[in-house]
């Protein structure tokens, strides 16, 4: 059999989209704090703390606790940011607050997740700042207008003598492996961290082996309390951030209940640091945490462990193995960047992407393939299809790529390099191989259609970007067949504001821009608006926030 030559176009080290089982020290942002209290006398005039952050479509969304300086005066606010450090607070904050005499009059902790296009908030509640605390639940379609669960609280302190007999607080919730998982702080004499599970997110069972994270030894930074858990799944392990006596530490687990604390703890030090909230974006750990300023007021700060380059998974010619490259082809070369637990392809700045220095001519978002698990060599491949994560397929002119290869032979395997940036500027890099074909006969595994000719499977109104926006936002919808489409903007009173389109569209993906104007040509004020799509029997509505 003819031997194949592996030609390396550039010197690379192949990594895979899983966080390494270690963690370097976090680097605080020079401009800390990133979120400060409001004016004296306001609902948040005495401090802000307990951040819960999500990242969607290029926008960071934060829910946080604000305090007015009275023993029981807390509420939960909302803010947005393009970069995670410059925040705009929602003008009508707080978005959730208890009433005097209710079990959650005092709301000192918050965690928000998004599942099936609905926001779910798990929050700490207590009758007063000196009462036992419980954990409650609320739902929202847009993250701003919340409806409390009628059977609150959903988790309460244990019986007398149990480890969490006085308080349960500061929940962190994720949905994985078809169940909801909660880590929370429990208190009788000292704060420790417990675990609970639920099939519906409303009815919870505490783990029999609680607490799952206990106090450290007498010389450790967490010797008298461990609290404020924030947990992520990096693709192989659970990683928990928590706070102790004088800083933030981390612990690792394969199952969410058996935890090993890092020998490097604490990874961020300070006597007043508490309540971390972590996001893993690519290989970058982004952490928002609470701390006291010089005047004794609590604020929210930011730190990160930012790698020089994030390695992403590529699949050249998805569905084909090996990946043939016909040097005489005048068509397009499809290359997919694969989404994973650790990478949302919506976070990629598409204008920065190049393959061998060549920019793509177009791109589309769709689930086409899954990353190869534990490859033996750089050129291993598979023909597996979608895995449930959104990918981005880019189309490159084949001859433009061929011109970068130089002198190659029939049967050579060539390692191609893709480079670019995330929306926050972080560099990305990925690699995959092609099998050179110079002969005239048609390749056996040549794709019969280009990726952009695939017909979408279903109607959808996907998202608008940016959101919040000022003054323009782009609305994205998909059609599986030619259809008349109506897009209409409404205000919160249900009044029509703007008819964006009312026309026939071809099958495929379409983008429409709204400039914040009415049908009469006047500008609309800041606020929440709704875009409704009608296409045949399909109809769907998304919410959009305009902040002028």
- Write down the domain spans for the chain: 6-16+311-453, 31-305, 460-546
- What pLDDT was estimated at residue 9? 33
Q: pLDDT, tens digit, for every residue of 274-313?
A: 999 999 876 678 999 999 876 778 999 999 886 667 888 8
What's the pLDDT at 283?
Answer: 66
How many CA atoms lie within 13 Å of 532's alpha carbon, on the beta-carbon side? 14
Best CA proximity match to 284, nearest among 214, 220, 234: 234
Average pLDDT, the chain: 86
Model confidence at 547, pLDDT cuts 50, 70, 90, reads confident
Question: Among 141-150, 197-206, 327-336, where is mean pLDDT lowest?
Answer: 327-336
pLDDT of residue 474: 82
Instruction: Supply 10's token pair.
Output: 């550039």
Confidence check: pLDDT of 376 > 50:
yes
Q: How confident is the model at residue 32 (pLDDT cuts 50, 70, 90)?
A: very high
Nearest CA to 393 out of 308, 491, 318 is that of: 318
pLDDT tens digits for range 441-466: 343 333 333 333 444 568 888 777 77
Question: Which of 338, 313, 356, 316 lies closest to 447, judged by CA?
Answer: 316
Give me the architecture of the 460-546 domain, per CATH. Sandwich (2.60)
pLDDT tens-place string over residues 99-155 = 888 999 999 999 999 998 899 999 999 988 778 999 999 999 999 999 999 999 999
Question: Is the pLDDT score of 160 beyond 70?
Answer: yes
> Quick check: do 31-305 and 460-546 share a fold?
no
With a pLDDT cut of 70, the percent of the chain lying above it is 89
Find the mean pLDDT for residues 248-265.
94
The pLDDT of residue 239 is above 60: yes
Residue 273 DSSP label: -
**CATH class as words, domain 31-305:** mainly beta
How many CA within 13 A on the CB side of residue 47?
A: 21
So what's the pLDDT on residue 455? 45
pTM above 0.85, yes or no: no
Residue 195's alpha-carbon distances to 92, 216, 248, 316, in angstroms, are 34, 18, 19, 42
Q: Which of the four pLDDT bands, split at 50, 70 and 90, describes residue 262?
A: very high
Looking at residue 342, its pLDDT comes to 77
N-terminal to C-terminal alpha carbon distance within the chain: 67
């Amino acid at each position: 059999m003819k031997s194949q030559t592996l030609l390396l176009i550039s010197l690379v080290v192949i990594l895979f989209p899983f966080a390494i089982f270690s963690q370097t020290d976090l680097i605080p942002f020079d401009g800390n704090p990133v979120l400060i209290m409001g004016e004296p006398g306001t609902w948040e005039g005495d401090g802000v703390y307990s951040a819960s952050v999500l990242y969607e479509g290029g926008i960071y969304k934060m829910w946080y606790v604000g305090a007015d300086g009275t023993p029981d005066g807390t509420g939960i606010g909302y803010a947005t940011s393009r970069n995670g450090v410059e925040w705009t607070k929602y003008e009508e904050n707080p978005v959730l607050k208890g009433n005097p005499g209710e079990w959650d009059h005092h709301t000192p902790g918050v965690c928000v997740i998004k599942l099936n296009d609905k926001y779910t908030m798990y929050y700490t509640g207590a009758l007063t700042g000196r009462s036992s605390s419980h954990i409650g639940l609320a739902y929202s379609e847009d993250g701003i207008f919340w409806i409390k669960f009628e059977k609150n609280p959903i988790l309460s302190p244990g019986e007398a003598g149990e480890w969490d007999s006085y308080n349960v607080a500061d929940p962190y919730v994720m949905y994985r492996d078809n169940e909801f998982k909660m880590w929370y702080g429990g208190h009788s004499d000292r704060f420790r961290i417990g675990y609970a599970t639920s099939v519906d997110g409303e009815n919870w069972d505490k783990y029999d082996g609680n607490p799952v994270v206990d106090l450290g030894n007498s010389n450790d930074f967490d010797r008298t309390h461990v609290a404020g858990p924030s947990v992520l799944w990096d693709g192989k392990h659970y990683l928990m951030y928590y706070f102790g006596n004088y800083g933030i530490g981390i612990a690792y687990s394969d199952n969410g209940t058996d935890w090993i604390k890092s020998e490097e703890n604490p990874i961020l030090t300070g006597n007043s640091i508490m309540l971390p909230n972590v996001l893993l974006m690519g290989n970058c750990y982004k952490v928002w945490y609470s701390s006291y300023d010089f005047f004794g007021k609590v604020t929210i700060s930011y730190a990160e462990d930012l790698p020089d380059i994030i390695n992403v998974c590529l699949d050249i010619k998805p569905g084909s193995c090996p990946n043939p490259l016909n040097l005489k082809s005048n068509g397009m070369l499809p290359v997919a960047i694969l989404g994973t637990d650790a990478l949302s392809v919506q976070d990629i700045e598409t204008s920065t992407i190049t393959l061998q220095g060549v920019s793509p001519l177009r791109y589309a978002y769709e689930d086409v393939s899954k990353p190869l698990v534990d490859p033996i060599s750089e050129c291993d491949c598979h023909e597996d299809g979608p895995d449930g994560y959104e990918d981005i397929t880019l189309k490159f002119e084949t001859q433009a790529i061929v011109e970068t290869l130089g002198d190659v032979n029939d049967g050579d395997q060539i390692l191609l390099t893709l480079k670019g940036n995330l929306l926050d500027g972080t560099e990305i890099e990925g690699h995959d191989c092609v099998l050179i074909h110079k002969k005239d006969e048609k390749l056996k595994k040549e794709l019969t259609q280009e990726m952009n000719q695939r017909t979408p499977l279903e109607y959808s109104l996907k998202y608008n970007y940016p959101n919040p926006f000022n003054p323009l936002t782009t609305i994205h919808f998909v059609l599986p067949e030619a259809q008349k489409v109506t897009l209409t903007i409404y205000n919160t009173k249900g009044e029509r504001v703007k008819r964006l389109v009312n026309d026939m569209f071809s099958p495929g993906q379409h983008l429409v821009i709204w400039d914040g104007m009415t049908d009469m040509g006047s500008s609309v004020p800041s606020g929440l608006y709704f875009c409704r799509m009608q296409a045949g029997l399909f109809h769907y509505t998304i919410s959009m926030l305009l902040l002028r």
